[in-house]
């Protein structure tokens, strides 16, 4: 039997080794970029026609924490992501409950369509959104009612994030409700509780941890949105302050970019240290949130 045991050990060692490779690569993916935060000695900042003055560059991580535009972007990102997650929860939790508890004709097709959003490219999402809101009846509706969805802070950013955040949240919330033993609900119903009361006092508390994990998931996913926001909303940093509504100025969100888009702009325009500073800030936020999801114990779904 020693040969068998040796083979078993080899097999287990192989599995551990593969996991180790994946985990270490993930660490290395982040750690190997720390030196990007430190500017090289011979960076040229002579271009006076550049889109930003040279006071920001040539410092550790571009000194992004002292830049008011970064904090305005942070305000904007956290505010809209929270709004998106709340909206997704408001629509998604009842929908998830319906999909797990009630018979809806064509549920298989609905399943396929909802889960297909998760594997839709962000560029396709952005493009479909632009066409949905800029052409056809919805455009006429916006014109005649005097509001605008694309390229705006409030409906625009939230709509762009909502697509994927809702799809992700739905998958998590459905898994959370599917994990509740239906017996408890049947008992509550047979004892005379109404459907709402059964939901509120039995299903909701039983699925609580999964629902919270799903909410965090939707929030992180909204914050991590890049492609749809880039195509649907673009950047706001070049707009004059007068173009922003009053509430945006009150909440310090004018002339700010969605963090991921801001990071991309900085890197594309050669402000490497600053861009990587934002990237690491985003990684830190995501890491804390993902850890929280695992800590709360969201399981049964992928993220």
Partner 1 sequence: MKNAPDPSLPRRRAKTWAIGLAGTGFVLLLLAALRVAAGEGGVGATRLAVLGVGSGAGAAVLLYRQHMLWPAICVSATLGILATYLVFVGSTAVYLGWSDAAYFFGQERLWARVWLTVWTATISTGLSVILGIPVGYALSRLRFPVPRLIATLIDLPVMVPAAAIGALLFGFVRTPPVRNVLDAMGLELAHSATGVIFVQFVVTIAFAARLMKASFDAVNPRFEQVSRSLGASLPATFLHVTLPLAKRGVMASLIVVWARAAAEWEALMLFVGGTEKQTDVLPFAIYLDWNGGMMGWCVSMSLVCVLLAVATMGAMRLIGGRSYVW
For the segment 57-96, give every residue that binds partner 1 (CB under 8 A). 91-92, 94-95
Among 41, 42, 46, 145, binds partner 1 (CB under 8 A): 145
Q: In the bound complex, what is the minimum distance in angstroms from residue 294's beta carbon to partner 1?
A: 4
Q: In the bound complex, what is the minimum distance in angstroms from residue 211's beta carbon to partner 1?
A: 14
| Whole-Å CA distances, 199 to 105, 147, 162, 180, 298 | 22, 37, 25, 11, 20
Query: Do 73 and 261 meet the contact criterion of CB atoms below 8 Å apart?
Result: no
Tokens representing 90?
A: 């408001």
- Which H or E element spans position 218? helix 208-223
Q: Does 203 bind partner 1 (CB under 8 A)?
A: no
Nearest Cα to 167, choosing from 88, 66, 261?
88
**Residue whose CB is less far from partner 1, 166 or 212:** 166
Residues 158-177 that bind partner 1 (CB under 8 A): 163, 166, 170-171, 174-175
Query: Do 153 and 253 meet the contact criterion of CB atoms below 8 Å apart?
Result: yes
Residues 216-245 that bind partner 1 (CB under 8 A): 220-221, 223-227, 231
Phi and psi of 22, rounded to 5°?
A: -65, -45
Separation between Cα atoms, residue 211 and residue 102, nearest integer Å: 19
- Residue 60 is classified by DSSP as G
**Residue whose CB is less far from partner 1, 54 or 143:** 143
Q: In the bound complex, what is the minimum distance in angstroms from residue 7's beta carbon to partner 1?
A: 5
Q: In the bound complex, what is the minimum distance in angstroms from residue 172's beta carbon to partner 1?
A: 8
Q: Does 301 bind partner 1 (CB under 8 A)?
A: yes
Among 127, 154, 204, 239, binds partner 1 (CB under 8 A): 127
């Amino acid at each position: 039997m020693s040969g068998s045991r040796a083979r078993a050990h080899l097999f287990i060692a192989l599995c551990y080794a593969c996991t180790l490779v994946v985990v270490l690569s993930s660490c290395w993916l982040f750690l190997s970029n720390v030196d990007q935060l430190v500017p090289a000695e011979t960076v040229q900042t002579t271009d006076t026609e550049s889109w930003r003055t040279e006071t920001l560059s040539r410092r550790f991580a571009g000194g992004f924490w002292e830049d008011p535009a970064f904090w305005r972007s942070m305000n904007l990102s956290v505010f809209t992501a929270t709004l998106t997650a709340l909206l997704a929860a408001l629509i998604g939790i009842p929908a998830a409950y319906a999909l797990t508890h009630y018979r809806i004709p064509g549920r298989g097709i609905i399943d396929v369509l909802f889960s297909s959003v998760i594997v839709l490219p962000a560029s396709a999402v952005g493009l479909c959104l632009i066409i949905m809101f800029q052409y056809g009846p919805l455009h006429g509706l916006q014109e005649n009612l005097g509001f605008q969805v694309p390229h705006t802070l409030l409906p625009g950013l939230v709509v762009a994030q909502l697509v994927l955040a809702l799809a992700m949240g739905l998958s998590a919330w459905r898994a959370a409700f599917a994990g509740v033993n239906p017996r408890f609900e049947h008992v509550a119903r047979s004892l005379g509780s109404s459907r709402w009361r059964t939901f509120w006092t039995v299903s909701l508390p039983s699925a609580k941890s999964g629902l919270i994990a799903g909410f965090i998931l939707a929030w992180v996913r909204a914050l991590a949105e890049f492609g749809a926001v880039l195509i649907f909303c673009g950047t706001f940093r070049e707009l004059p302050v007068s173009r922003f509504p009053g509430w945006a100025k009150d909440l310090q969100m004018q002339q700010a970019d969605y963090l991921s888009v801001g990071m991309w702009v900085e890197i594309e325009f050669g402000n490497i240290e600053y861009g990587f500073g934002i990237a690491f800030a985003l990684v830190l936020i995501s890491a804390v949130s993902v850890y929280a999801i695992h800590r709360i114990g969201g399981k049964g779904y992928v993220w």
